[in-house]
C-alpha cells in the first residue's frame, strides 16, 4: 500500500483464508438403515461430499436418506449453461 509522504510502500498480506465450513454432518438411525445428512453450506465441496456419501449408502447398509436442508447457507457455484 502506498501512502503519501512515504518513499517505500507498506507491505500488506492477504491473511484471510477461505472458510470451507464444517464437513457434512452424518448420523445413522434405526440400526443404520436411515442416513441423516446435514450440510452447513451448499457449495461444490459440500455437494461432492454429499454425493460420495449417497453413492456409499448401499455398501454401508443404508436403505433411506434424510437430507436436512433447513437453515443451509447457499454457496457460490459456477453456473452450468443451459
C-alpha dist (Å) from residue 77 to 9, 45, 46, 48, 55:
36, 10, 11, 12, 22
pLDDT at 81: 59
**Helices within the chain (DSSP H only):** 44-55, 57-60
28-73 tens-digit pLDDT = 888 888 999 999 888 888 899 999 999 998 888 889 999 999 888 7
pLDDT at 6: 74
Q: Is the pLDDT of residue 17 over 50?
A: no
Q: Check: CB of residue 75 under 8 Å from CB of residue 46.
A: yes
Amino acid at each position: 500500500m502506498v501512502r503519501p509522504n512515504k518513499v517505500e510502500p507498506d507491505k500488506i498480506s492477504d491473511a484471510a483464508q477461505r472458510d470451507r465450513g464444517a464437513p457434512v454432518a452424518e448420523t445413522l438411525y434405526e440400526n443404520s438403515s436411515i442416513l441423516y445428512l446435514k450440510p452447513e453450506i451448499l457449495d461444490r465441496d459440500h455437494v461432492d461430499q454429499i454425493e460420495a456419501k449417497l453413492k456409499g449408502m448401499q455398501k454401508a447398509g443404508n436403505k433411506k436418506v434424510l437430507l436436512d436442508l433447513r437453515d443451509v447457507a447457499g454457496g457460490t457455484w459456477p453456473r452450468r449453461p443451459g
